[in-house]
Structure 1
Amino acid sequence: MEEGKRERLMLLGVPVDIFSSQQAFRDYVVALASNGKSSQIVFLTYSLLMKAQRNPVIMQIFHDAALVLPAEPSVIKGLSFVYRNNYRAIIPVDVIISMLSTLEELPNRSVYLLGGTKKTVTTTYHNLKGSYPRLLFVGYHQGSMKADQEHDVIEAIRKASPSILIISKGIKKHEQWMYLHRNEFKPGLTLYCRECFDVFCGKKKRPTERELQNRGGIKLSRLLHYPIYGIMLMGNRWKLKRAERHE
């Protein structure tokens, strides 16, 4: 893949990956799936962006991630303001579908599902298995588990050695959890998507771009934080301009 097709931007110290085309993204997924390493993929939301400003562990998760994708309009608006360009937020469910379609074209690729209720993850497992017959679905487990079960689940994933581990809701501190255990899940891709199993099992409809724009509604906590966000973005833009002058 040509490196120019993937652009890594910085938003308030957090890396964000932008691709020039769907094919560029698919090529990058193939490269990640073939490099023999443990690669974390993170969907960047406004909440995570703000947490990274005060939590060095979360900031490190982003910097060590193989891929950080903008998943909310507020993140995209921030990027557009800082870099004076037009970008689009991605829909995580669509990203996962694209990744599974890409992996299906490669030989001997496998999937493990972790998260949701027992019924949700079981239905998701069978639905995806029917949709992607050339992928090997090597296991699944619900998200809620007791402390003494976690070791057994991690060991089961390690032995299955999936090409991609998809995590959904039910896992506490999901991004930190998959980062903490990253060395036990290699080689392969690991990602977290809160609502993807609900969509894949039919409980929820796939979100549209318009729904993505409206997601979160008008919350008092966000109204209070957005002015601060704006000030931080202006500082980010000023630093970028200053760096460009000194190049």
Structure 2
Amino acid sequence: MRASFLTCPIDLLTMAETLELACSAMRSRRRVQHVALNVAKFVKMRTDPVLAADVANSDIVGIDGMGILWGARAVGLPARSRVAGVDLLVELLAVCAREGFKPYFLGATQAVLHLAMQRAREKHPSLAFAGWHDGYFKPEQESDVVRDIRSSGADCLFIGMPTPRKERFLAAHRDGLGVPFIMGVGGAFDVLAGTVRRAPAPIQRLGLEWLYRVYQEPGRMWWRYATTNTLFAGILAQALVKQAVQHTLGPSSAPRGPSRIGG
């Protein structure tokens, strides 16, 4: 079910429902693009209209982060659970091995990518990849990458490139890739390869996975999370206050006119 979270579209789906949509796309060869929405991406959308449009035009906008899940519940949306991108990737690789679907990996470094694929094959010996390419290609090589993906016959494409680069890539090429299910996975290849550890399950449930990432990579992560989490908390608090005032004053107090993402 699609809903609007502070004017940002989100799909209130469980893991099982998301997997079914992905499998249906691969079986029918009908293109479905999935985007995983977390706090960092939500905040970036406020100042990047192109990114906001890329997210809004995706077929599935999944709730990736606990902050988005809690925020959606706080404003009254019936969000049941998050569908973390890395968990969805793991589940889909198991589906691919079982059903004979062939994934294509795009992103990360060659070393990380090959290690991630090796780990996936060790877990699922029947898994066959349609192809792979690292994410460090130059702009003039982009057409070659697109051609390789298109000719691979892949059933699903997982893209491990940073936001907004992967969104730009998909906005430009998704209709010409010939891949039924497309999904951005952020840094999930590093997790799959074992070069980055996920937070223990209790920490994930507490919504402190971001803090665990800061612990692992303080130099790269602390400022990102400090700024995006603070901005998100402010945006959500403002929305909740506005919602409470409107509820108190009645529907006639609702603002008129267009609004923008996150506003």
TM-score (norm 1): 0.81
Once the two structures are superposed, the pairs formed by residues 191-230 of structure 1 within 5 Å of their partners are 191-212=183-204, 213-217=207-211, 219-220=226-227, 222-230=229-237
Task: State the match for 1:136 in structure 2.
Answer: 128
SS at match of 1:137: coil
Question: Residue type matched to 1:13 in 2?
Answer: T
Q: Are positions 1:31 and 2:24 aligned together?
A: yes
Gaps of 5+ in 1: 1-6, 243-247
Q: CA deviation at 1:101?
A: 2.0
Alpha-carbon offset, residue 165 of structure 1: 0.9
Write 1 or 2 for the structure with the bigger share of strand.
Answer: 1
User: Secondary structure at 2:99's aligned position in 1?
Assistant: coil
State the Cα deviation string for residues 157-205 of structure 1 (Å, max 9, x = none): 1111311111113686122222221112223211112221112212122
CA distance in 2 between partners of 1:64 and 1:171 (Å): 15
Partner in structure 2 of residue 59 of structure 1: 52
Pairs within 5 Å for 1:162-201: 162-169=154-161, 173-201=165-193
| CA shift in 2, pair 1:33/1:151, >3 Å | same
Say if 1:25 and 1:222 are closer, same or farther in 2 by CA, change over 3 A. Answer: closer
Quote the offset at 1:140 in angstroms.
Answer: 1.1
Say if 2:38 and 2:65, in contact at 8 Å, map to a contact too: yes
* Structure 2 partner of 1:91: 84
Conserved in 1, the CA contact under 8 Å of 2:199 and 2:209?
A: no
Aligned to 1:42: 35
Cα distance in 2 for partners of 1:143, 1:58 equals 19
Name the amino acid aligned to 1:194: G
Shift in Å at residue 66 of structure 1?
Answer: 1.9
Distance in 1 of aligned mates of 2:240 and 2:173: 33
The equivalent of 2:147 in structure 1 is: 155
- Which one-letter code corresponds to 2:210 in the other structure? G
- State the partner residue of 2:119: 127
**Secondary structure at the counterpart of residue 190 of structure 1:** strand
Does the residue aligned with 1:198 lie in a helix, a strand or coil?
A: helix
Amino acid at match of 2:65: E
Q: Give SS of 1:167's match.
A: strand
The CA distance in 1 between the partners of 2:77 and 2:58, in whole Å, is 25
Q: 1:140 and 1:236 mapped to 2: Cα distance? A: 47
Does the alignment pair 1:231 with 2:238?
yes
Deviates more, 1:136-145 or 1:87-96: 87-96
User: Distance in 2 between the 1:191 and 1:202 partners?
Assistant: 20
Name the aligned partner's letter for residue 36 of structure 2.
Answer: F
CA RMSD of superposed structures (Å): 2.8
Structure 2 segments unaligned to the other structure (5+ residues): 212-224, 252-263
Q: How many residue pairs end up in the alignment?
A: 234
Secondary structure in structure 2 of the residue aligned to 1:40:
strand
Alpha-carbon deviation of 1:74? 1.6
Shift of 1:36: 2.4
